[in-house]
Amino acid sequence: MTGLAELGWGGVAASLVLVALAAAVACRQRLHLTRELIIASMRAGVQLIAVGALLLVIFAHAGLPGGFAWVVIMILVAGQVAGHRGTGLPRARIAATAGVATGSVVTLGALLALGVISAEARVVVPVGGMIVSGAMQAAGVALRRLCEDVQQARPAIEARLCLGLPAREAFLPHQRSALRTALLPAIDSTKVVGLISLPGAMTGLILAGVDPLTAIRYQIVVMYMLLAATALAALATARLAEHALFDHAHRLVPLPEPT
Amino acid sequence: MTTNSGFLLDQVTVTRGETRLLDAVSAHLPVGHCTAVVGPSGAGKSTLLRLLNRLDDPGSGQILLDGIPISDLDVLDLRRRVGLVAQQPVLLTDRVAGDLRLGQPTLGDHRMCELLERVGLPAGFAQRRTSELSGGEAQRVCLARALAVEPEVLLLDEPTSGLDGVSSGVIVEAARDHVAAGGTVVLVSHDLAVVRGIADTVLVLEHGHLIAHGHPDEIDYLEAGR
């Protein structure tokens, strides 16, 4: 007997009472969020059922190639989402997609090559999902910071170029600032993990009946892999954005006015 | 010095959207001279200055430096030969010394003191925080930072705009010294008194057209400001 590990559809349906409770609070307090809350709950249920069914098919029939294909799709979607944060920067979506892909492929590849995780679709897909998600957030934050910096700091960047500095050096302080902004949340959450939050992977494993020491080992790997994915994705995104921001004559390209 | 020395602009045109910022401008900016570019706001003066160190390229026409098209020169080398001081001073590091070493990392203390002296600042100024400087001091540090790279040509875009008399005087004097030492200065300024005091040659731009070019005494535009 492992408690919630045997959670059935009846249990899921019963948990709708909690949605009703939240909706009642929203309604009574006149937050004008009741409809949105119910739709979000329904949508989450439908999305997760669809994904669960798809994963069932992949795990049963498509095997490891299907798992990797799923990770590639996640990378492409994440690249589009993160790229949106850099609207106004040239080729932002390409930079973000390549950044997410770099962070994800290197991190997942290292975990597989080192034998930390087994090469099975049922492992590659959820672990890949966590990695891609972390990489997406880092790429999005890095792009948004670069976007804001470049629009405000054109005089400073051009002042460095006027001293004969190459584009990379002229841009370096802004790239560093974007990388710091992208990395700090991952470092902060790594610092306090277990102290002020029990992270998702560990919670899930404990709920599924795995003993806490095993769950902790997984969580340590998750935190480390997220640090790597975040750093690599932010760096690759920022470097690619830098290439798109300067032309062959080490000039900052014209950018649209911020809206 | 040959007739090719310095900048030669040949039918230079710059277009942004539907607007011609510079329209078929041809001129010679000789080496060892101070050439002032004057004209009303929006005439294309700053646009012209940005072409000379390739922060922008012309849409058509070409610019030669000592007879060689600047597009054929290594752009980083060109920018070290042609320094630019912008209208708004932008300091880039925490300390004055950091800014002075930005383009010249090997700059020694002695040379740093010389540069500060050239812009009328004491030697101890090198350790000042850049965030504490007044507008005039910041502009003087920007000029010293450009001079640290030892450029042949100094491009000054409204360098005295909004500055007190002392800072303006120091900047004009530093520009004059640069010319006296054989360097070239290209100055954009609305301050016609400064232009009359320093320029050997004046270009007058209006709506992107070069409407007059000659010795300051021959330029009617300068008389308007007397």
Would you call B90 and A159 a contact, using CB atoms and an 8 Å cutoff?
A: yes
Place of tokens 């739709």: A39
pLDDT for B15-49, tens place per residue? 988 889 999 999 999 999 999 999 998 899 999 99
Domain membership flag for residue A212: yes
What would the mean pLDDT of B139-155 be, rounded to a whole number? 95
Give pLDDT, residue A188: 87
Would you call A163 and B90 a contact, using CB atoms and an 8 Å cutoff?
A: no
Two tokens, residue A119: 């090469």
Domain membership flag for residue B166: yes
Domain membership flag for residue B3: no
pLDDT for A163-200, tens place per residue? 999 999 999 999 999 999 999 988 888 888 777 666 77
Would you call B149 and A163 a contact, using CB atoms and an 8 Å cutoff?
A: yes
Q: Tell me the H-state helices in A85-211.
A: 92-113, 121-152, 154-162, 167-192, 200-207
Would you call A164 and B55 a contact, using CB atoms and an 8 Å cutoff?
A: no
Residues in chain A whose beta carbon is closer than 8 A to a beta carbon of chain B? 155-156, 158-166, 173, 249-251
Domain membership flag for residue B109: yes
Nearest-CA neighbor of B150 among B107, B93, B94?
B107
- Dist CA B62 CA B13 (whole Å): 9
Query: What DSSP character marks residue B53?
Result: T
- CA angle (A131 as vertex; A128, A135 as ends), nearest 5: 135
Query: What DSSP character marks residue A89?
Result: S
Range of the domain at A120: 63-245
Domain membership flag for residue B14: no
**A84, A31 Cβ separation under 8 angstroms:** no
Domain membership flag for residue B6: no
Give pLDDT, residue B220: 79
Domain membership flag for residue A37: no
Number of domains chain A contains: 1
Q: Would you say residue B2 has pLDDT above 90?
A: no
Name the residue facing B92 among A156, A166, A251 (closest C-beta): A156
pLDDT for A129-161, tens place per residue? 999 999 999 999 999 999 888 888 999 999 999
Lowest-confidence region among A30-34, B9-13, B82-86, B216-220: B216-220
For residue A33, CA distances in Å to A25, A29, A47, A68, B220 come to: 10, 10, 21, 38, 71
> Model confidence at B226, in pLDDT bands (50, 70, 90)?
low
pLDDT for B42-52, tens place per residue? 899 999 999 99
Domain membership flag for residue B57: no
- pLDDT above 70 covers what percent of chain B? 97
Place of tokens 């009472």: A17
Range of the domain at B189: 32-46+75-223
Q: What is the ipTM of this complex?
A: 0.92
pLDDT for B90-137, tens place per residue? 999 999 999 999 999 999 999 999 999 999 999 889 999 999 999 989
Residue B37 has, within 13 A of its CA and on its CB side, a CA count of 30
Residue B64 β-bridge partners: B8, B69
Give pLDDT, residue B150: 95
CATH number of the CATH domain containing B145:
3.40.50.300
- Dist CA A217 CA B56 (whole Å): 56
Domain membership flag for residue B21: no
Q: Which residue stretches of chain A have pLDDT < 50?
A: 1-3
Of residues A250 and B197, more confidence is placed in A250
Give pLDDT, residue A128: 94
Domain membership flag for residue B102: yes
Number of domains chain B contains: 1
Question: Closest residue of A to B84, CA-based?
Answer: A162
Would you call B86 and A161 a contact, using CB atoms and an 8 Å cutoff?
A: no
Substitution target from A154, A163, A165 for chain B, most B beta carbons within 10 A: A163
Question: Closest residue of B to A254, CA-based?
Answer: B56
What would the mean pLDDT of B161-182 be, rounded to a whole number? 88
